[in-house]
Homo-oligomer: A and B are copies of this chain.
């Protein structure tokens, strides 16, 4: 057994208490062995002045959209998608997706994220990037059937299922998958019914967008006379293990349904604010017992992949949504970004306890903006940023040591992303 000891810091425990002590890791099994007074180890990682916390979980995003970071902003959702994002995405080839995914992975590792969910296309490229980077991921191919004929629509769904079957368990078990119909309004009912059933047979969960904007809710209510998540339930979605992004415009009955079915919601506060989508009822969801995770969404609507921003946004927007400064406290924000995310994605991560995956972020608390330390958890939610992360560990392996990302040549990743992004923009604007 090869062991790693993260030594000399404080540790964030699952009950959100903080105690001094080490974290001892079994690197072969990729698991936490012990927390507290430990000794020895093959390798020691210094955590003096640091807090060891669970690696952050980015439970909804589109990694390769880093190439479109800052490409178009400050436009209403429809115009933004139709005039800018979709034309640019139409120009993304497999190598572009790989370049964007590599950049996203460098950014996530540098900000303490050890697991993420990704809905995109050219999934084999994303899987190869995840394999190389060393993080954990639940990957899938996003399906859209509107505007497609039956043959194309079926092919798109089949690709999503095929990818889910092929890559599940890849990268030494770090990659799991999902069937990913884009949303309840962009995939036809007949396809949802057929392919959700096939996903159940293949034993892969389902990830989709739901209730992001009013424009997505109203047509379903008008046409079907039920709320979107009631419709989702009726076509076989919302089983335990499924997770939907956003859920901004969810009413009390839908929240109850999510809790009953044990389907998770991925709250994306920055994206919801930037696209003026609205304020998700996060406090009500948590009170109802819904598993709530956090996600950055794509870098084009955020515009970074730093989960520390998302914790801060979730706590602050959650208070505004509830009209109550006591709503979504710091502990809730940190829980959603760690255990909540891991629960949503079905990973045994997100809690520092023996037997759990050794997915960890070591946060340096000696910066001026984290001084003084009255309360570590408050600082994680309200004052820390991704650049305060000193080391990142996933599956027992050190992915970043002293701000140096080990698997990638950062300068090369940045250079390639810059070149490919410029070429994509040129092609898209020439069309």
A residues with CB within 8 A of B: 66-71, 73-77, 80, 103, 106-107, 110-111, 270, 272-276, 278-279, 299, 302-306, 309, 312-313, 315-317, 319-320, 322-327, 329-330, 366, 368-369, 371-375, 378-379, 381-383, 385-387, 410, 413-414, 417-418, 421-422, 425
Contacts and interface: CB of A to CB of B under 8 A. Distances in A.
Contacts of A329: 73-74
A275 to B, nearest CB: 5
Contact of A303 (B70, B273, B278, B383): B383
Contacts of A322: 276
Contacts of A80: 325
Given A304-B383, A410-B368, A74 B326 contact: yes
Among A70, A75, A324, A410, residue most surrounded by chain B Cβ atoms (within 10 Å) = A70
Contact of A421 (B330, B372, B413, B414): B372
A369 B309 CA distance: 13
A122 to B, nearest CB: 18
Given A369-B107, A374-B425, A274 B69 contact: no
A77 B366 CA distance: 29
Contacts of A381: 73
Given A76-B326, A379-B70, A273 B103 contact: no
A417 to B, nearest CB: 5
Contacts of A67: 372
A220 B422 CA distance: 56
A371 B305 contact: no
A388 to B, nearest CB: 8
A319 B66 CA distance: 22
A326 B79 CA distance: 10
B275 A325 contact: yes
A368 B103 contact: yes
Nearest to A371: B414
A367 to B, nearest CB: 8
A41 B418 CA distance: 33
A76 B418 contact: no
A114 to B, nearest CB: 16
Contacts of A313: 316
A323 B276 contact: yes
A75 B325 CA distance: 5
Contact of A273 (B70, B316, B366, B379): B316
Contacts of A366: 414
A385 B383 contact: no
A410 B326 CA distance: 34
Contacts of A71: 374-375
Nearest to A74: B329
Nearest to A270: B316
Contacts of A326: 74-76
A426 to B, nearest CB: 11
30 contacts: A69-B371, A69-B383, A70-B372, A70-B375, A70-B378, A70-B379, A70-B383, A73-B329, A73-B375, A73-B382, A74-B330, A76-B326, A77-B325, A106-B368, A107-B368, A273-B316, A274-B315, A275-B325, A276-B322, A276-B324, A276-B325, A278-B320, A303-B382, A304-B369, A313-B316, A366-B414, A368-B413, A368-B414, A371-B417, A374-B425
